[in-house]
Amino acid sequence: MRGCRSSDGLFTATDDETNRARSRGVRFLCELRMTCSVLLAIFLTAMQAADLRFTRFGPVGRSLTDREVAQISQLADAAGRPPWLLLGFPSMMLGVATVTVYLTPDDFANPAVWRGRVLTLEADQVARDRERSPWRLKQTRLYAYIVAPGHRIGEMLDERDISWPFAVQGEIDDETLISVVAFIRSKPAIPNLPAGAAPRTVSSVPISVVARQGESLVVALRTSEASGERVTVSRIEGRYEIMHFESWIV
């Protein structure tokens, strides 16, 4: 509909044009509010990450000397970020000590999924009561961190806290990570078990790795310093199903 000419010769807007203008204004305000909410969430998450304290866990982690902590911090800084979490268990390799160091996150684009890098460090140790050699970088991987419901973001209570960050192997988007982690943490029943077999459900323990394997995802869990579980899942008609389960012990 065309506009109507007023007494002064100018065109005035029709009701349709006015409604369209209002709709555009409402959409703009909604998009602006959403953008501001996302930016605020990212800012608050970044502020939380800035307050992260370097915390050590595991027998090896707790046994580190001040000199070793300083040297490990230097290795982390050389990688571009301060250290956040350190986990160290006795190594299965004779004469070698290893620790895993999670750096503070690199990416806050999605406040629900922190992403960063995790370092594997090793040092020579001839005997348990001998001083270790300087730590050296063995491997760098990517990690993701998804806090469990009811847990304080960015903090671990102990080695068995289910909120521990985990290594990510392959291309896995945030939505997939969030959904598969929620599925595994729900302690789903393990299918096709014979009577009397145990465990009957996936254990409520920290996830150590989520890896892409074709159309499936393989989730590794750490049940202790020398044992774990491996769960292969596939998404079928929008729901995850366990395709394979195995437990291991060293």
Structure tokens at 245: 């389960």
Query: By the 8 A CB rule, do 82 and 104 touch?
Result: yes
Query: Which tens digit of pLDDT belongs to each residue from 155-213?
Result: 999 999 999 999 999 999 999 999 999 999 999 999 988 888 888 999 999 999 999 99
Structure tokens at 231: 């769960």
What gap in Å lies between CA 134 and CA 198, rounded to an integer?
Answer: 43
| In the block, residue with structure tokens 């998009």 | 31
Structure tokens at 223: 């049940």
Structure tokens at 70: 């300083």
Query: By the 8 A CB rule, do 221 and 228 touch?
Result: yes
User: For the chain, what are the domain ranges?
Assistant: 4-48, 53-159, 170-250
Fold entry, domain 170-250: Nuclear Transport Factor 2; Chain: A, (3.10.450)
Query: Which tens digit of pLDDT belongs to each residue from 122-131?
Result: 999 877 667 8
Query: By the 8 A CB rule, do 27 and 59 touch?
Result: no
| pLDDT attached to residue 40 | 40
Q: How far, in Å, are 68, 92, 98, 140 from residue 103 at the CA level? A: 16, 24, 16, 10
Query: By the 8 A CB rule, do 102 and 84 touch?
Result: yes
Specify the amino acid at residue 21.
A
Where residue 81 falls among pLDDT bands split at 50, 70, 90?
Answer: very high
Q: Please calculate the CA angle 180-153-108 and round it to the nearest 5 degrees.
A: 75
Those residues with Cβ within 8 angstroms of residue 135's Cβ, 6 or more apart along the chain or in another chain: 68, 71, 72, 75, 99, 121, 122, 123
pTM, 2 dp: 0.79
Rg (CA), the chain: 26
